[in-house]
Amino acid sequence: MSKKKQKQKPGPCQRGFASRPRQEKRFDAQGRRIGDDGLPMTKYRTRAHRLLNGFFVWGAFAGLLCAGFTVLATFQGQELSSWELVAEGGAYRNGLSIATLLRFEALFCLAVGIASVAVHLYGFSWLYDGYALRPARRIALGLGLACAAWCATAVLLAGAFEPVSVATLVLLATFRLLVPKVHDEHQQLLSMRS
């Protein structure tokens, strides 16, 4: 008995977006990977690339934290009046409603997520496309000031440690220390190229 050839349908990797050819990784004579801008990926340029990816991941995680804190705030035992939307009852810490603190933390996480993704986008535009670093620096400065103020407020008013702002400040400090080194390497690579 002979088997008939069955006509196979294209799989998900054989059609649409996934069927586009992948960009090949290129390397220079010393074995260093060539970046999207045609320059070798040196030590600090690679670190900056990974750090900017970290900003995107942190922004996405902050968005998830925002949703989580919002959900947690609804389960704190508060009751809202029908017309005035005044919250009554629920748990308190140092005279502050925990549900209200969680709502403020959710709002802060939303702002951190949006600003982190903006630093990611503007940072990559600077790293590979030659755009100015000023927008990324301004957003990072504003985010850093907001994180420092929010952390101080959480410690002084609520008596609670606030890890989201501390982690964001660590990312921002690393970015601040890495930018001059990347800029120097970029200038050296451009002078070697010409």
Res 14 pLDDT > 80: no
Distance, in Å, from the CA atom of 38 to the CA atom of 32, rounded to the nearest integer, reads 12
The residue type of 18 is: A
Residues 6+ apart with CB under 8 A from 54: 171
pLDDT score of 3 more than 90: no
What mean pLDDT is predicted for residues 168-188? 94
Strand partners, 87: 80
Enumerate the domain spans of the chain: 51-61+105-193
pLDDT at position 194 is: 67
pLDDT digits (tens, 9 = 90+) for 58-89: 999 999 999 999 999 888 877 777 776 676 77
pLDDT of 1 over the 80 cut? no
At residue 140 the predicted structure's pLDDT band, cuts being 50, 70 and 90, is: very high
How far apart CA 26 and CA 43 sit, in angstroms, is 16
Q: Residue 107: is its pLDDT beyond 90?
A: yes
Query: Residues 149-156: contacts with CB within 8 Å, 24+ apart?
Result: 150/108
- pLDDT score of 152: 95
User: Which is more confidently placed, 16 or 38?
Assistant: 38
**At residue 185, what are phi and psi to the nearest 5 degrees?**
-60, -40
The pLDDT-based confidence of 9 (bands split at 50, 70, 90) is: low
Average pLDDT for the chain? 85
**Over 70: is that where the pLDDT of 17 sits?**
no
Which tokens in the block code for residue 101? 């603190």
| Arithmetic mean of pLDDT, 184-188 | 87
